[in-house]
Structure 1
């Protein structure tokens, strides 16, 4: 099988990579490539026909019958026309051209193009089988149309060598396209995975912010409810007490609105998710202010701090302790109004940090209606402690007091 230059469209391959797109819509590049291949094949038919029709002393040996010249030209033109559909039926066209290649010189260009298309778009086993089968008509071609000045075996070996070159060229193009398709798929997969990771990170960050704001807003709103209930319970209170309670309600409402505004702004923002929320997060140093705020609301709170080297406590642990105490105080105001609350902190580097909030027996009924709760506060605390690698216990003890206790790891270094 004779070889010549062929340019193919570098689209997706059939088989394992491109079976779903074996017959894609013809693009502008496809039209240009097909037009070029058709013109090359027509040009070769013209050259081969003129060469066969030219006077030559060996013409009688090469073409013993004159009618073979126009017949060969018709075969070449017919195969040239099939080049427009060679991508759809490369195997069928290759099988049709095998017997024709035993005697047709005008069809050589079209045959090589079809053969190259087969190698590029079909499995290697199919290409090797067609290559081996093409050697039979190649041997017959050297008998039917011998080349002047060349022996039979010389012509046959050159045909086999050129078919192997076309096979190697087509397999190289096929491997290159497979590599390009594989790299494209890997890039698309990596981009999709990156978008998925970003979406998951965004969801996790928003969930974390929502939990943080649940703790903050629950604390603020419980203070509002407590003071409003006191005003409702004692409408005849002194003006200065009413003014003081109203001031606390106003400041708590303002702080709650500010917290809510911040969380909505963060949830709407598309900023980097790797950064913490802009608002500074509370730590262990903010616990006295939290306790003082509860005392100002009328809650009896005792704080016992037996933490050694508190300045070495990691901020993450301190933030978790703050949230645990905040949730404990909020629950005490909701479910044990009027009861005294004790907060005990103890720990040192290497031993961990222990925090315990205990509600003593209520000494009176709650003023007004009970504060509704979402029921997720302790669940959030449990998740926070679990993520930190600590332990959490809560519930009624033997004395009937409600106890919320947590142990958090505190590395020595």
Structure 2
């Protein structure tokens, strides 16, 4: 079965093997509807089957009628005429078994009580009911046919066979017809069930693929926000300095332009690395982009300071590199997003970064900044509004909590608490 998105429908299962075709043709040739008045348009195959069954019922009925008429002691002429007329009508009624299977079977119970010619038509109608109805109607029609056969034994006994033997043959024939019809019904239901199960499995697989793709897109979008927002905010800050200080000394202008050029180049490299995860054809030897850890936090702070943002950092951790990778990466992203927001929304403010904790007690990362001083710059950086949402999701996945908001002292605080388990001792 193909499960990839956009591919063809599932290939046939074992129940669609050609060995099952005869039973399926017989089952499908009969009425597929469940209602008494369900109109069915016959296909070419249906016409072939219907004509064949009608001819079989007529020929077999005429042979049975001729055999009864040629006996040494034939039935009365009136009974023979009634037999011929009732049997002919029974064969004609078979054309309506697709639309009214249960009604036709119940009607044919009457000629079955006295007509030799109607015998095969009665069995065909009984088979139709067994294929297309549940066991309750099948049991009722079967009981009615057995009662009709009991009346037939009294009206038309076979002079060459004992009544008990003739009755046993009739009961066995009726049971065989009912069992065959119910077997065809069960086989057809099995085919439908397996097909539905295959379709359901393919749909579930498609949903799993779509969910995995959506999760991957979300991860890529979050990573692009954390990485590119940091780089582009630095670039915009230096470009704004060049715009608002056109009279700056040439050396400062050259230095700012160099920082803009370096930041733009670094942003392009980060963009290329992040988008690289979109390549579906990446080979097994592809190397993933290295992720930052808490040991890279001092470099981040120095980079931000070099861009002109005033930052006071305090690290109350014995060794930043000793923090687990997942916890350190989440803490790094929290600080990165907080400093990016400070540059966007509080230019000129002083940001305080505090990292403290120890193994067993957890890691706390806090970034504070006061209200911005002075007028808002004309070129305020736009925000996506989803940065804190992405940080909250990352912290939650790491098993921590995130708090953010204004303090009574007028500072905006972003605090994250992350787990820092005690490393297991090795023997």
TM range (shorter): 0.7 to 0.9
Match of 1:90 among 85, 95, 101: 101
Gaps of 5+ in 1: 1-5
Matching residue of 1:183 = 194
Query: 1:89: how far off?
Result: 0.9
For the 8 Å contact 1:12–1:18, the answer to whether it is kept is no
Match of 2:261 among 238, 245, 250: 250
In 2, Cα distance between equivalents of 1:215 and 1:341: 18
Q: Secondary structure at the match of 2:410?
A: coil
Gaps of 5+ in 2: 1-22
Matching residue of 2:80 = 68
Matching residue of 2:400 = 390
For the 8 Å contact 1:13–1:178, the answer to whether it is kept is no
Match of 1:349 among 337, 356, 359: 359
Q: Structure 1 pair 77/375, CA: closer, same or farther in 2 (3 Å)? A: same
In 2, Cα distance between equivalents of 1:193 and 1:20: 36
Query: 1:189: how far off?
Result: 2.3
Q: Secondary structure at the match of 1:198?
A: helix
In 2, Cα distance between equivalents of 1:65 and 1:228: 116
Q: Does residue 26 of structure 2 align to residue 9 of structure 1?
A: yes
Q: Structure 1 pair 302/120, CA: closer, same or farther in 2 (3 Å)? A: same
Matching residue of 1:223 = 234
Per-residue Cα deviation, 1:371-403 (whole angstroms, up to 9, x for no partner): 232333223322332333312222333543332
Q: Structure 1 pair 315/157, CA: closer, same or farther in 2 (3 Å)? A: same
| 1:193-342 equivalences in 2 (<5 Å) | 193-260=204-271, 279-308=289-318, 313-342=323-352
User: TM-score under structure 2 normalisation?
Assistant: 0.80
- Say which is worse superposed, 189-198 or 219-228, in terms of deviation: 189-198
In 1, Cα distance between equivalents of 2:376 and 2:304: 16
Q: Does residue 57 of structure 2 align to residue 41 of structure 1?
A: yes
Query: 1:66: how far off?
Result: 7.4
Query: 1:261: how far off?
Result: 5.8
Query: 1:263: how far off?
Result: 5.9
Q: Secondary structure at the match of 2:125?
A: helix
In 2, Cα distance between equivalents of 1:202 and 1:95: 58
Q: Secondary structure at the match of 2:113?
A: coil
For the 8 Å contact 1:233–1:368, the answer to whether it is kept is no
Matching residue of 1:3 = none
In 2, Cα distance between equivalents of 1:80 and 1:99: 13
Match of 1:370 among 380, 402, 427: 380
Query: 1:336: how far off?
Result: 2.2
Question: RMSD of the alignment, in Å?
Answer: 3.6
Q: Secondary structure at the match of 2:106?
A: helix
Query: 1:148: how far off?
Result: 2.5
